[in-house]
């Protein structure tokens, strides 16, 4: 599943080329998770503004001659990826959305169709506001201090791995990145969140930020479907310390890396290095 690094890599790939682009047409293929919410013909003539990201959502603001006209909220779902092409060719069976502009065509390919493209009048109105309401703080937000992060953990009795995946204490630590951050911080994934001390919460937040920063530098992770807007795969998975390395030696202590299913996701950890 594309997580925060992959979505941010995508945003960086389309933000500059599409800024100021004029929409010529919008094409829909097979239905995605939610309906678009506006007739496709109504997008012609609108101009794309500064593309932003919130969690795993991309916001494409659109303006008309009379001012802001709302925008499109995009989610890549489980298997989606965006490509920006001058000549995209005819859409294939898994190409479910085209935004045709004078700077090229932005195309969403999503084999499993869990992605979404939804029109909203603004980020502060439904449906965008509803979809974004439960997201936790951004990982690189300077207002997310260790104290604030620790307070969020103290309010929950769930295992820390599940809490990271839920994205309520901090967004962006998807499965591979949660496993890696917990390993860096030396915290067992099954440890209850409310039993994590402030110093350990500080280490975990730093590990989340370090892990996500490294993933961004490497173009994200490609485990199955993800590619950036130019078709390139991410490379972070190749240097993961524990993720996908069941039975292999821990890079710190050489004990075999273990795998356990937690929160319905495969969880990789070192039982020797990561303490409860």
CA 163 to chain centre: 16
Helix (H, G, I), strand (E, B) or coil at 101: strand
Catalytic residue list contains 265: yes
Q: Which of 38, 85, 113, 265 is catalytic?
A: 265
Closest CA to 83 of 66, 64, 105: 105
- Residues near 184 by beta carbon (within 8 Å), at least 6 away in sequence: 207, 210, 211, 241
CA distance 69 to 22: 13
**Exactly one of 53, 56, 107, 200 is catalytic; which is it?**
56
Q: Is 275 a catalytic residue?
A: no
* Cα separations in angstroms, 180 against 185, 192, 240, 243, 273: 9, 18, 7, 7, 12
Q: Is 40 a residue of the active site?
A: no
**Is residue 3 flagged as an active site residue?**
yes
Q: What residues are labeled active site?
A: 2-3, 56, 265
């Amino acid at each position: 599943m594309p997580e925060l690094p992959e979505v941010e890599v995508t945003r960086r790939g389309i933000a500059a080329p599409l800024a100021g682009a004029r929409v010529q047409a919008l094409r829909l293929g097979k239905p995605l998770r939610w309906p678009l919410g506006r007739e496709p013909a109504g997008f012609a003539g609108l101009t794309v503004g500064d593309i932003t990201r919130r969690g795993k959502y991309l916001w494409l603001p659109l303006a008309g001659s009379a001012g802001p006209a709302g925008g499109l909220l995009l989610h890549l779902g489980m298997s989606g990826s965006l490509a920006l092409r001058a000549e995209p060719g005819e859409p294939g069976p898994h190409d479910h959305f085209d935004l045709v502009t004078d700077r090229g065509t932005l195309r969403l390919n999503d084999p499993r169709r869990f992605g979404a493209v939804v029109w909203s009048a603004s980020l502060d109105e439904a449906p965008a506001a509803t979809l974004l309401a439960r997201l936790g703080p951004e990982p690189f937000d300077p207002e997310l201090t260790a104290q604030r992060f620790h307070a969020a953990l103290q309010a929950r009795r769930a295992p820390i791995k599940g809490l990271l995946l839920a994205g309520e204490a901090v967004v962006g630590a998807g499965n591979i990145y949660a496993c890696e951050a917990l390993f860096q911080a030396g915290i067992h994934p099954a440890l209850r969140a409310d039993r994590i001390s402030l110093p350990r919460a500080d280490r975990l937040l730093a590990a989340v930020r370090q892990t996500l920063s490294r993933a961004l530098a490497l173009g994200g992770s490609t485990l199955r479907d993800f590619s950036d807007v130019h078709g390139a795969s991410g490379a972070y998975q190749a240097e993961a310390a524990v993720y996908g390395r069941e039975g292999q030696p821990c890079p710190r202590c050489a004990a075999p890396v273990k795998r356990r299913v937690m929160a319905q996701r495969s969880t990789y950890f070192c039982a020797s290095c990561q303490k409860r």
